[in-house]
RNA sequence: CGGGGUGUGGCGCAGUUGAUAGCGCGCCCGGUUUGGGACCGGGAGGUCGAAGGUUUGAGUCCUUUCACCCCGACCA
């Protein structure tokens, strides 16, 4: 992509109505556009990051056998009444709307009911189980207060997966396999070291804890207590002596931290399947309840967390796995430089390297500043003064001094990275 | 939803005791520049969030309302 063709621009000034660092940087660098509080559009650069995150999540979910679907945002009232989650007294952050004939609809905030209703069309026998299904889709929640840029929005992108099992034992296996996949996702995003599996409130099921995945962050909304040695944490909301004992944790080993919830997995037992009258028949011909789990990852929130964390005073510093482009190619100088830069751009693009080519007629300082703000991992400069030596300047965004590389050395360094 | 704050060209902001708006950046034109956000000259662009009121006169005072930010509460 040529920067001259990119319709978005960077800004020299920080947006006045954002305090959250992730939102400031992402808006300034032209990754997102604020439509209203808690509602952001993704611009070309931002969408590429979002797609990269989605693909990592998708690969991991597919890796454990998840079957991707796309459910609807418009929701019929009846299935939610069967589980008693339609009433605003029960679930207060519904967005609701109406058909022209007055029929009330819900705007999807989660999808347990629809996924169960849908699965019920196909699941009848023990032979049809177990399975996982998931989607990556927008969610709408009427939050009383949107805040912190991408970290808490009213419209956001979420991956939600649901598991259907025949027995509790089978469910436990599915659940742990999903948790392991979650850990791999955070590893691949570069958040592994600072993300803790955290025991949290089980929601409707007090008998059981849920697992949150909390990335340590000063801007986090949750207070968690981390056991560094065991690499687990417990959410403040369930921090009682009884629970600590149940979990085998010792209060002395816990350190209080703030975290951003980047994932949450729940045991749903058979609440939704029973309520929606979805059962299976076992090999004896007996009707049995289906045990469910649900597993959420906030995709757009993850983008915010990464932006919030991987940045410096000059701008964003994207991890290679999710960077919008791998290489920021800066062209400095006259006709010769144009010729060489164009050739390098074609060559890199030709071998599958994603290049953002700054072909603008701007001064070097402006290009370098934008390169740093946008935060692409590798910066390569083609300039008049390097043409005679047949070299390119290379500098990594995440630090290190600039070096001069020959064409061959450069190609080796930029060989398409394995995601 | 309670409390606090803020709305003025595209962006960031200033605007005193009321007198029909200004700066920086950006943008357009011309010229000079070209390895760390260039410089000079010229120019376009705003019914001051909205509605109502007070006043000879309102960006400024009053009322209502909308939006945005922060703290808290809330967040399957």
Can you give A18-39 as a three-state secondary structure string? CCCHHHHHHHHCCCEEEEECCE
Decide if pLDDT at A388 tops 80: yes
Name residue A298's beta-bridge partners.
A158
Instruction: For chain A, give every domain's residue range.
Output: 8-312, 327-414
Instruction: Provide the pLDDT for residue A279.
Output: 98
Strand B proximal to A20 Cβ, under 7 A: yes
Residues A118-146, mean pLDDT to the nearest whole number: 97
Residue A176 backbone phi and psi in degrees, to 5: -65, -35
Alpha helices in A104-149 (DSSP H): 112-119
Whether residue A348 has pLDDT greater than 50: yes
For residue A51, pLDDT over 90 is answered with yes
Residue % of chain A over a pLDDT of 70: 98
Helix axes A299-309, A21-28, angle to 10 degrees: 90
Q: Look up the protein residue whose alpha carbon has the minimum distance to the C1' of B38.
A: A363
CB within 8 Å of A191: residues ≥ 6 apart: A215, A262, A302, A305, A306, A309
DSSP A243-271: HHHHHT--GGGEEEEEEEEEEEEEEEETH
| Residue closest to B11 C1′ by Cα | A13
Q: Which of residues 239-298 of A touch strand B (CB under 7 A)?
A: 264, 266, 294, 296
What would the pLDDT profile of A151-174 be if each residue is shown by its tens digit?
999 999 999 999 999 999 999 999
A144 sits within 7 Å of strand B by its CB: yes
pTM for the full predicted model: 0.96
If one looks up domain A327-414 in CATH, what number appears? 3.40.50.800
Look at residue A204 in the predicted model and tell me its pLDDT.
66
Give the closest nucleotide to A160 (alpha carbon vs C1'): B76
| pLDDT at residue number A205 | 62
Distance CA A225, CA A258 (A): 8
Tell me whether residue A402 is exposed, middle or buried, using C-beta atoms within 10 angstroms of its C-beta: 0 to 12, 13 to 18, 19 or more.
exposed
Residue A29 tokens read as 């660098």
Say if residue A417's pLDDT is above 50: no
Cα–Cα distance between A116 and A114 in angstroms, integer?
5
Strand B contact at CB of residue A152, distance < 7 A: yes
Q: Is the CB of A317 under 7 A from strand B?
A: no
From residues 190-249 of A, list those within 7 angstroms of strand B by Cβ: 203-204, 210, 221
A282-CA/B31-C1' distance, Å: 86
CA A28 to C1' B9, in angstroms, rounded, equals 20
pLDDT (0 to 100) of residue A207: 67
Say what the pLDDT of residue A206 is. 56
Q: What is the ipTM of this complex?
A: 0.95
The residue with greater pLDDT, A148 or A202, is A148
- Does position A416 have pLDDT exceeding 80, yes or no? no
Q: What does the block give as tokens for A12?
A: 């020299």
CA of A368 to C1' of B38 (A): 15
Q: How far apart are CA A230 and CA A410, in angstroms?
A: 42
CATH class given for the domain over A8-312:
alpha beta
Mean model confidence pLDDT for chain A: 95
The separation, in Å, between residue A17 CA and nucleotide B56 C1' comes to: 39
pLDDT higher than threshold 90 for residue A110: yes
The Cα–Cα gap between A103 and A97 comes to 8
pLDDT band for position A418 (50/70/90)? very low
For residue A118, pLDDT over 80 is answered with: yes
- What is the C-alpha separation between A64 and A66, in angstroms, rounded? 6
Give A57-80 pLDDT, tens digit per residue: 999 999 999 999 999 999 999 999
């Amino acid at each position: 992509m040529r920067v001259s063709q990119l319709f978005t621009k960077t800004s020299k000034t920080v947006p006045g109505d954002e305090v959250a660092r992730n939102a400031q940087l992402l808006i300034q660098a032209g990754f997102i556009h604020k439509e209203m509080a808690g509602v952001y559009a993704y611009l070309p650069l931002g969408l590429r990051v979002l797609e990269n995150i989605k693909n990592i999540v998708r690969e991991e979910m597919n890796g454990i056998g998840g079957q991707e679907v796309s459910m609807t945002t418009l929701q019929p009232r009846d299935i939610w009444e069967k589980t008693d989650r339609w009433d605003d007294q029960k679930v207060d952050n519904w967005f609701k709307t109406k058909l022209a004939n007055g029929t009330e609809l819900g705007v999807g905030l989660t999808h347990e009911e629809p996924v169960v209703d849908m699965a019920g069309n196909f699941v009848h026998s023990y032979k049809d189980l177990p399975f996982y299904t998931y989607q990556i889709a927008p969610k709408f929640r009427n939050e009383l207060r949107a805040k912190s840029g991408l970290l808490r929005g009213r419209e956001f992108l979420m991956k939600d997966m649901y598991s259907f099992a025949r027995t509790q034992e089978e469910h436990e296996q599915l659940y742990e396999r999903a948790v392991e996949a979650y850990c791999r996702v955070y590893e691949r995003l570069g958040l592994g070291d600072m993300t803790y599996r955290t025991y949290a409130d089980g929601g409707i099921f007090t008998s059981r804890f849920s697992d949150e995945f909390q990335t340590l962050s000063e801007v986090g909304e949750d207070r968690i207590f981390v056991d560094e040695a065991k690499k687990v944490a417990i959410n403040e909301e369930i921090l009682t002596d009884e629970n600590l004992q149940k979990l085998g944790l010792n209060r002395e080993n816990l350190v209080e931290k703030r975290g951003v919830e980047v994932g949450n997995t729940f045991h749903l037992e058979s609440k939704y399947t029973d309520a929606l009258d979805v059962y299976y028949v076992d090999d004896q011909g007996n009707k049995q309840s289906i045990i469910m789990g649900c597993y959420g990852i906030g995709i757009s929130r993850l983008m915010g967390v990464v932006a919030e964390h991987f940045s410096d005073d000059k701008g964003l510093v994207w991890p290679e796995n999710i960077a919008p482009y791998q290489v920021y190619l800066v062209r400095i100088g006259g006709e010769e430089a144009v010729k060489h830069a164009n050739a390098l751009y074609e060559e890199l693009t030709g071998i599958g390297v994603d290049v953002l080519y700054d072909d603008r007629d701007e001064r070097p300082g402006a290009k370098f500043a934008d390169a740093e703000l946008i935060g692409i991992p590798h910066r390569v400069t083609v300039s008049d003064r390097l043409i005679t030596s047949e070299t390119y300047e290379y500098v990594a965004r995440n630090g290190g001094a600039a070096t001069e590389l020959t064409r061959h050395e450069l190609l080796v360094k930029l060989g398409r990275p394995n995601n």
